[in-house]
Copies of this chain bind each other. A is one copy, B any other.
Amino acid sequence: MQDHGGNLDIAIARFGGPAEDWIDLSTGINRGSYPVGEVPARRWRALPSRTDLEALHGAARQAYATKAPVAVLGGVQAAIQLLPYLTRPGRARILGPTYNEYAPTLDAAGWQVQETSDLDALAGVDLAVVVNPNNPDGRRHDPKALLVLASRVGRLVVDESFVDAVPGLSLAPEAGRKGLLVLRSFGKFYGLAGLRLGFVLGSEADVAAFAAMAGPWPVSGAAIEIGQRALLDRDWAAETTARLAHASLRLDDLALDAGWRLVGGTPLFRLYSVGDAIAAQARLAGARIWSRVFGSQPGWLRLGLPGNETEWTRLAAALRST
């Protein structure tokens, strides 16, 4: 079991307090969620039909500006779980440091896995993984450079879990060509991680292989209902993109005032160099604000964005006292 953000039960076990007192900024999940609305009874009761899934695929294609084949899965994590079985195990390289599930999941299924911090060093392998923009440091890669890389590996996985708020960076419009797999998360930008929804965009054959591995009912009826509604709501996406861009700069200002240095980030989270991150996390936890630290990088602390003015006020106060 890897360490993840969103593990508020660990925060409560260590620092106490009821769950509702905590502001969980340990993830990059948008705290200004898309409104869930009503879920009709049939979505709970009936098995999702092919027609239901195809309508959701259509909504995803529209939101992601692509005509590529699409498979729906229970989040990008579900795609990562299946990735090792897409082909026979071979050599995989991951551009790191990055999201910590790729390496152990591939390794456990018999892949030879290396992590490298050099994009060019990915060339030549059977499977290359790039998270763009990267988590946790926000590192970005030119889509054109990634397309060149895609032609030099067996398969290139571009994990775009955090791309929604920087859509110009997305390779979704180029998906469909052989060897390129684009993973899109629903839950982070739409602030509905509990829904478990994500998409794989790729070649006809690869998408069919994911769909076959996921089976006939890969996500819940509620995920189809709410996901489809949200993906088709381009006004909400545009307003949210603008709001997050502004809010991430606001967070940087507070962090700078606290003496922290921005390492990087996306409009959904910011990574700061804070000196002793464990100590900084504990100070924030004293104010019931949960953050993410990284064992391998003792100076790094990652913060998601507060969701309303009450949360901003509490965070500002906590940062002033650190």
Interface residues of A (CB under 8 A from B): 1-2, 4, 6-9, 19, 24, 27, 29, 31, 33, 36, 39, 41-52, 74-75, 77-78, 80-81, 85, 101, 105, 108-109, 187, 191-196, 212-223, 226
Known: A74-B74, A221-B194. A2 touches B46 (CB 8 A): no
Whether B216 lies near A45 (C-beta < 8 A) is no
A197 to B158, CA, bound (A): 29
Given contacts A29-B46, A47-B193, 15 further A-B contacts (CB under 8 A): A4-B216, A6-B49, A8-B49, A9-B50, A36-B41, A44-B194, A46-B193, A46-B194, A47-B187, A81-B214, A101-B215, A101-B216, A195-B222, A196-B220, A220-B223
| A39, chain B: closest CB distance, angstroms | 8
**Contact A8/B77 with A108-B212, A221-B194 known, Cβ cut-off 8 Å:** no
B194 touches A6 (CB 8 A): no
CB distance from A266 to the nearest CB of B (A): 18
Q: Given B29, B78, B192, B219, which contacts A215 in the complex, CB threshold below 8 Å?
A: B78
Q: Are A77 and B216 closer than 8 Å at their CB atoms?
A: yes
The 8 closest A-B pairs by CB, nearest first: A194-B221, A6-B47, A9-B51, A9-B49, A81-B215, A196-B220, A47-B193, A44-B194
Smallest Cβ distance from A10 to chain B, in angstroms?
Answer: 8
B45 near A193 with CB under 8 A, answer yes
Decide yes or no: A46 and B24 within 8 Å by CB, A194-B221, A215-B101, A220-B223 being known contacts. yes
Number of copies of this protein chain within its complex:
2
- C-alpha gap A48/B194 in the complex (Å): 6
Interface contact A6-B222, CB-CB below 8 Å: no
Per the bound structure, the CA–CA distance linking A220 and B196 in Å amounts to 5
Q: A38 to nearest B CB, angstroms?
A: 11
When C-beta atoms are compared, the residue in chain B nearest to A52 turns out to be B9
Q: How far is the CB of A14 from chain B (nearest CB, A)?
A: 13
A151 CB to nearest chain B CB (Å): 29
Please report the C-alpha to C-alpha distance between residue A222 and residue B101 in the assembled complex, in whole angstroms: 24
**A43 to B192 CA separation, bound complex (whole angstroms):** 9
Return the chain B residue nearest A30 by Cβ: B45
Assembly CA distance A24 to B214 (angstroms) = 24
Say how far A223's CB is from chain B's closest CB, in angstroms: 7
Contact of A45 among B2, B108, B194 (CB under 8 A): B194
